Chains A and B, each alone.
Chain A
Amino acid sequence: MTITTTDTGLGSHHVIEEPESRTFRVRRTAMTSQDVFEAERERIFAHTWLYLGHESEIPDKGDYVRRPVGGRPLFMVRGAKTGEVNVFHNTCTHRGAAICRADKGSQKVFQCFYHAWTFDSEGELKGVPGEDAYVDEIDRAGLALQKVRTESYRGFVFVTFDPEIEDLTTYLAGARQYLDYVVDAMNGEVEVVPGTNEYGFDANWKLLVENSIDGYHASSTHDTYFKYLQTLGTDLSIGVSGVTKDLGNGHAVLEYRAPWGRPVASWEPLFGEDSKEEIAQLKADLVEKHGPEKAEMMTEINRNLLIYPNLVINDIMAVTVRTLVPTAPDRVEVTAWEIAPKGELPQLRQRRLDSFLTFLGPGGFATPDDLEALESCQQGFSSGGVEWNDISRGMGRAAQATDEEQMRAFWRRWRDQLDTTN
């Protein structure tokens, strides 16, 4: 479908905010239109920082992981000479074949299987079979593997396809402090747990952005999960209370107190009596190091953090890192990892693993129901009889955990980026 935007930009055509009447609406074609999907690729995904992976995934020289980012095939390798994290477009500079052909591993030399050119882990072109056929000397520098602009913040590696945009730290704005909570609570020793969740479903990616930071749907959609928690002995009577915030640049957070414990220094009976003391010690250490206020934030408060446009970090019973990549207006691919402190007590690690897979995993007691909800929204959009989604909840008041201010933060940034025509 073609969208005519004569007097407004593509973003403003889809997002209408009216503070006087406290309404915020998103036109449903934002989730269905091919034009919007293509504009997102060009105006958002090519001009933001996108999460690729964690430095701890490639601890040693030559270690690599291969994965697409924003739909482009990349690989990240720790350079054998410099020890730096290099990210390359995963395509041979000769005629295009994939250079890195496994999802992870370790090697210092990458040989293209097509005509056997070789590159080292810094991207330099090393070997060209039959090089004397190039009558003038071959342009080795020009034919090196193409680097992607890469920066990392406290171990989280991001890339961008825009050479012009601000540095990563500035880009992260208010979200930086929340990454600090995660990393400091793990004493800076973060590892990615083996095992990746890679799934997909038939809905627009922005529905999953909304869902990942939506406190309003929890009790209605996830009734069976809360039942399960009760079976385990969790007392749900205190309920969930908190706030939602705009963190700038489209980043947003939902943060709340909840009845369940946290493996970082908030004990509950499920963790077992034998871990009570260690958890108290962990907490005492954090209080000493960071002061009571920050320690309280790190240990007692749960949060669902959105780093615009497509990274979600849930810092709850377990810490999850997930990216959402659109492949069509009505299709999204999710990749999720679990991060945890290195050298954690086995019983705490076990609780963390259990929490992740029972709540957030695609075989768990909650995520499948989210997928069902989002696919049913997407199907509902095709009715065409209803033009707008309403995202006004909590407008005009200090936004609470079940309000929608955090989603409005995302949509405002989305609107502004889609209005640009770079």
Chain B
Amino acid sequence: MTTITRENAATVTRAEVEDFLYQEAALLDEWDLPTWLDLFTEDAIYQVPCNDDPTGAGDRSLMLIDDNRLRLASRVERLGSRKAHREYPHSNLRHFISNVRILEQDSEVLKITCSMLVGRFRANRETWYCARADYDLLLSGGAFRIRRKRVALDMTTLRHSSDVAIIL
């Protein structure tokens, strides 16, 4: 993982954030989900809102994914089993991250936004997910931790992709 020598998140650069996001993407593409899960804080949330309600909040809208840390751990466990039938065997994945911007930063937290394109290939089927991803990153002990990851899909429906059984 990226080691950040800085103490203060206020001085972190975009390149350092990008390094972190690329490494996260690599863990997902390699299906190293237990290591990926360790990137998240205990109070983390991971959300994917419904296509027709991109600003929806998990306490009043139906979401596609609205995981707290416990549910995220269950998701990782599920995807590691042979009984997650939609992802056994696993799809080939490729996460592309671009247009990274630091929206806000103070001494502890950075708010990041980026564009995300995820290719998913399995059983002769190809699916592309295009999205805006927003992160709250925490800098502590020389490493980033994800406190919030929210992926809002650009597709108007899931008709073609059919599901979000992978982690975006």
Q: Identify the A interface with B (CB < 8 A).
A: 103, 193-201, 221, 223-224, 227-228, 231-232, 333, 337-338, 346, 349-350, 353-354, 356-358, 361-363, 365, 367-369, 371-373
CB distance from B159 to the nearest CB of A (A): 4
Q: Is the Cβ of A333 less than 8 Å from the Cβ of B78?
A: no
Closest 3 CB pairs of A and B: A195-B62, A368-B86, A195-B50
Known: A194-B61, A195-B52, A346-B59. A362 touches B158 (CB 8 A): yes
CB distance from A60 to the nearest CB of B (A): 20
Docked Cα-Cα span, A227 to B62, in Å, equals: 23
Q: Is the Cβ of B158 less than 8 Å from the Cβ of A193?
A: no
Residues on the A chain within 8 Å of B56, using CB: 194-195
Residues on the B chain within 8 Å of A103, using CB: 52
Docked Cα-Cα span, A382 to B71, in Å, equals: 38
Q: Is the Cβ of B164 less than 8 Å from the Cβ of A362?
A: yes
Residues on the A chain within 8 Å of B61, using CB: 193-195, 353
Residues on the A chain within 8 Å of B50, using CB: 194-197
Known: A224-B81, A231-B74. A199 touches B63 (CB 8 A): no
Q: Chain B: which residue is nearest A200 at the CB level?
A: B159
CB distance from B63 to the nearest CB of A (A): 6
Q: Mark B65-104, 1 if CB is under 8 A from A, else 0.
A: 1100011001101100101111100000000000000000
Which of under 10, 10 to 19, 20 to 34, or 35 or more describes the interface residues of B? 35 or more
Q: Is the Cβ of A224 less than 8 Å from the Cβ of B83?
A: yes
Docked Cα-Cα span, A320 to B84, in Å, equals: 23
Q: Chain A: which residue is nearest B158 at the CB level?
A: A199
Q: Is the Cβ of B162 less than 8 Å from the Cβ of A353?
A: no
Residues on the A chain within 8 Å of B71, using CB: 228, 358
Residues on the B chain within 8 Å of A362, using CB: 64, 158, 162-165
Q: Chain B: which residue is nearest A222 at the CB level?
A: B83
A to B CB contacts below 8 Å, 6 in the list: A195-B52, A196-B52, A196-B53, A228-B74, A361-B65, A363-B164
Q: Is the Cβ of A195 less than 8 Å from the Cβ of B63?
A: yes
Known: A371-B86, A373-B85. A357 touches B52 (CB 8 A): no
Docked Cα-Cα span, A197 to B65, in Å, equals: 11
Which residues, 14 to 63 on B, are CB-close (under 8 Å) to A?
Answer: 48-53, 56, 58-63
A-B contacts counted at CB < 8 A amount to 121
Docked Cα-Cα span, A363 to B167, in Å, equals: 9
Docked Cα-Cα span, A28 to B56, in Å, equals: 41
Q: Chain A: which residue is nearest B68 at the CB level?
A: A354
Q: Is the Cβ of B162 less than 8 Å from the Cβ of A201?
A: yes
Q: Chain A: which residue is nearest B164 at the CB level?
A: A363
Residues on the B chain within 8 Å of A195, using CB: 49-50, 52-53, 56, 61-63
Q: Is the Cβ of B74 less than 8 Å from the Cβ of A353?
A: no
Residues on the B chain within 8 Å of A371, using CB: 86, 162-163
CB distance from B135 to the nearest CB of A (A): 19
Q: Chain B: which residue is nearest A104 at the CB level?
A: B52
Docked Cα-Cα span, A199 to B63, in Å, equals: 14
Residues on the B chain within 8 Å of A358, using CB: 71
Instruction: Given contact pairs A232-B70, A353-B59, enumerate 16 new A-B contacts (beta carbons under 8 Å).
Output: A197-B50, A198-B52, A198-B157, A199-B157, A200-B160, A200-B162, A223-B81, A333-B159, A346-B59, A354-B66, A361-B64, A363-B64, A363-B164, A368-B84, A368-B163, A369-B86
Residues on the B chain within 8 Å of A349, using CB: 59-60
Known: A224-B78, A338-B62, A368-B165. A198 touches B87 (CB 8 A): no
CB distance from A279 to the nearest CB of B (A): 19
Residues on the A chain within 8 Å of B163, using CB: 199, 201, 362-363, 367-368, 371
Q: Is the Cβ of B62 less than 8 Å from the Cβ of A196?
A: yes
Q: Chain B: which residue is nearest A230 at the CB level?
A: B74
Partner pick for B165 among A227, A350, A363, A373, CB 8 A cutoff: A363
Residues on the B chain within 8 Å of A353, using CB: 58-63, 66
Q: Is the Cβ of B83 less than 8 Å from the Cβ of A223?
A: yes
Q: Is the Cβ of A357 less than 8 Å from the Cβ of B66?
A: yes
Q: Is the Cβ of A197 less than 8 Å from the Cβ of B83?
A: no
CB distance from B78 to the nearest CB of A (A): 4
Q: Is the Cβ of A357 less than 8 Å from the Cβ of B62?
A: yes
CB distance from B67 to the nearest CB of A (A): 9
Residues on the A chain within 8 Å of B160, using CB: 200
Partner pick for A363 among B48, B81, B83, B85, CB 8 A cutoff: B48
CB distance from A204 to the nearest CB of B (A): 15
Most interface-central of A196, A338, A356, A373 (chain B CB within 10 A):
A196
Residues on the A chain within 8 Å of B48, using CB: 363
Q: Is the Cβ of A199 less than 8 Å from the Cβ of B162?
A: yes
Residues on the A chain within 8 Å of B161, using CB: 199
Residues on the B chain within 8 Å of A193, using CB: 60-62
Q: Is the Cβ of A198 less than 8 Å from the Cβ of B164?
A: no
Partner pick for A372 among B58, B77, B78, B86, CB 8 A cutoff: B86
Residues on the B chain within 8 Å of A221, using CB: 85
CB distance from A327 to the nearest CB of B (A): 9
